[in-house]
Amino acid sequence: MSTPRSQRSFFYLSLISASTLATGCGGAAGPELGRLSGTVTLDGKPLANARIVFQPTGQLASPSVSDTAEDGAFELRFNRDRKGVLPGSHQIRVTTARVVTDASGKETDVQEVLPAKYNAKTELTYDVKTGSNQLDLKLESSQPGYAR
């Protein structure tokens, strides 16, 4: 007994849809990522406890994020389970503003110490390649000629 053509078409369409949902975008492991690490300095000194966000430009895609260590070092993470960043052009935001919670649960706002050109009005960009990438961000706290 033969199956009507519309039932066979529905079966194959369902099979294709199910396999697409099972693998998700970019396959079981997710999209291909580049690795990116480096350091952040402010006025020549390591910038600790800063948040770095790499936001892909020209596409709706997830950013990669890292916090800097005491020595200013960072390594971007695409998500909790994967280190890396999508290849392509990115806007970079670096911020020191955050909320810190002490052992008693009291929250304290840490104010931004970086100029807006590094975060809210960022001028920083980087083109991530597949494979390993190294980026050392050398930030300055003031404009040239500005008296501190």
Ordered DSSP codes for 59-107: S----EEEE--TTSEEE-BSSSS-B-B-SEEEEEEEE--EEEE-TTS-E
Q: What is the pLDDT of residue 86?
A: 96
**Does the pLDDT value for residue 13 go beyond 90?**
no
Q: Please report which confidence band the pLDDT of residue 144 belongs to, taking 50, 70 and 90 as the band edges.
A: low
**For 66, phi and psi rounded to 5 degrees?**
-155, 155
Q: Please report which confidence band the pLDDT of residue 140 belongs to, taking 50, 70 and 90 as the band edges.
A: very high
b/e per residue 59-89 (b: at least 16 CB within 10 A): eeeebbbbebeeebebbbbbeeeeebbbbbe
Interval 76-95: pLDDT, tens = 999 999 999 999 999 999 99
What integer is the mean pLDDT of 48-56?
97
Polymer length of the chain: 148
Does the domain formed by 34-139 have CATH 3.40.50.300? no
**Does the pLDDT value for residue 17 go beyond 70?**
no
Contacts of 35 (CB under 8 A, 6+ apart): 75, 76, 83, 84, 85, 131, 132, 133
**Does the pLDDT value for residue 27 go beyond 80?**
no
Write down the domain spans for the chain. 34-139
More confident residue, 63 or 26: 63
DSSP one-letter string for 17-32: HHHHHHH-TTSTT-S-
